[in-house]
Amino acid sequence: MRRQNILRVLLFIIFFSIGGTALSSSILCDDLVQYYHKRQLLRAKEELSNRLKLLNTDYDVLLQNLGKDPNLLERIAPLILGMERNDANTIYPKATEELLEAVQKVLEEDSSQQPTEPVIPAWLIRCSEPFRRVILFLAGAFLVLISFIWLGSAKSAWVDREES
């Protein structure tokens, strides 16, 4: 008798937990989709914030160097404004179109090789379809009902028999 009760409790726990998980996932599916979207947006905003912090530190260093070396402004002004350099004693290399295209291709390859995580897991996409969501809800409800009806306590049946 004790083995039957242990087996009955074990099966009740298994059926009820699977049914409850199916019910809750079918009900909370929209919330889970929103959660994953917001998590992806947060990750993108953090990356943007980190890039902006790096730019700020670069500009701070540049401003400090400008304060220390006044000739630095004369050297970088033509680069920033796109003017021709006028120092007769210096040879400046010129960038060709082929070189710029090669650099652009390398930069595009580096950006495309970064691993991207999927925004929403595949199982959640499948579960968010309306027909599958209804089936998941019904299957969960059926498992919960099975666990209560057939695996519920057997004392009530025995008490009824003893009373009569």
C-alpha span between 78 and 86 (Å, rounded): 9
Instruction: Provide mean pLDDT across the span 2-8.
Output: 82
Counts of helices then strands in the chain (DSSP H, E): 7, 0
Residue 30: pLDDT above 80? yes
Please check whether residue 44 lies inside any domain of the structure: yes
Please check whether residue 111 lies inside any domain of the structure: no
Q: Which structural domain, as residue segments, surrounds residue 66?
A: 2-86+119-152
Over its C-alpha atoms, the chain yields an Rg (Å, rounded) of 34
Structurally, the chain folds into a number of domains equal to 1
Please check whether residue 112 lies inside any domain of the structure: no
Please check whether residue 33 lies inside any domain of the structure: yes
Please check whether residue 94 lies inside any domain of the structure: no
Please check whether residue 104 lies inside any domain of the structure: no
Residue 81: pLDDT above 60? yes
Please check whether residue 135 lies inside any domain of the structure: yes
45 compared with 86, residue with greater pLDDT = 45
C-alpha span between 105 and 101 (Å, rounded): 6
CB-based contact 103:96 (threshold 8 Å)? no
| 69-73, 84-88, 160-164: range with lowest mean pLDDT | 160-164
Instruction: Provide mean pLDDT across the span 133-160.
Output: 80
94 compared with 127, residue with greater pLDDT = 127
- pLDDT, position 14: 92
- pLDDT, position 45: 94
- Give pLDDT tens digits for 115-126: 566 678 888 888
Average pLDDT, the chain: 82
Instruction: Provide mean pLDDT across the span 23-44.
Output: 91
Instruction: Provide mean pLDDT across the span 43-59.
Output: 91
Please check whether residue 162 lies inside any domain of the structure: no
